[in-house]
Amino acid sequence: GNSVTQMEGPVTLSEEAFLTINCTYTATGYPSLFWYVQYPGEGLQLLLKATKADDKGSNKGFEATYRKETTSFHLEKGSVQVSDSAVYFCALRDTGANSKLTFGKGITLSVRP
């Protein structure tokens, strides 16, 4: 079956530090890949997505590249801000009309001033 593995957290960084959050996946087909963000006390928001190999998703300074050869979709940001403190979820949706979202466990990012 499908699965998503995220690096263990939590992660604490100083403002303006470089961020990498690792995500690898296992899927039977050719999935679409997503990063969702959850700010404290809120639901999830789609941060970025990529639908095929070598696609790069980007939004709000965050980027992730769909790497089929390494089955990875690592999230990066060059300079984090305090307002980026949140929980980040990697997810995949396999191909097919009835495909569902499969989420990783999430990782908490705290950015200190």
Comparing CB distances to other proteins, the nearer of 72 and 108 is 108
- Type of residue at 53: A
Q: How far is the CB of 79 from other proteins (least distance, A)?
A: 27
Q: How far is the CB of 44 from other proteins (least distance, A)?
A: 4
Give CA separation, 5 vs 17, 32, 103, in Å. Answer: 24, 15, 9
Query: CB–CB of 5/102 below 8 Å?
Result: no
Comparing CB distances to other proteins, the nearer of 23 and 111 is 23
Q: How far is the CB of 4 from other proteins (least distance, A)?
A: 8
Comparing CB distances to other proteins, the nearer of 46 and 82 is 46
Report the C-alpha gap between 80 and 112 in whole angstroms.
Answer: 10
Q: How far is the CB of 93 from other proteins (least distance, A)?
A: 7
Query: CB–CB of 89/22 below 8 Å?
Result: no
Binding site for other proteins (CB under 8 A): 4, 41-46, 49, 89, 93, 97-101, 103-106
Report the C-alpha gap between 11 and 21 in whole angstroms.
Answer: 9
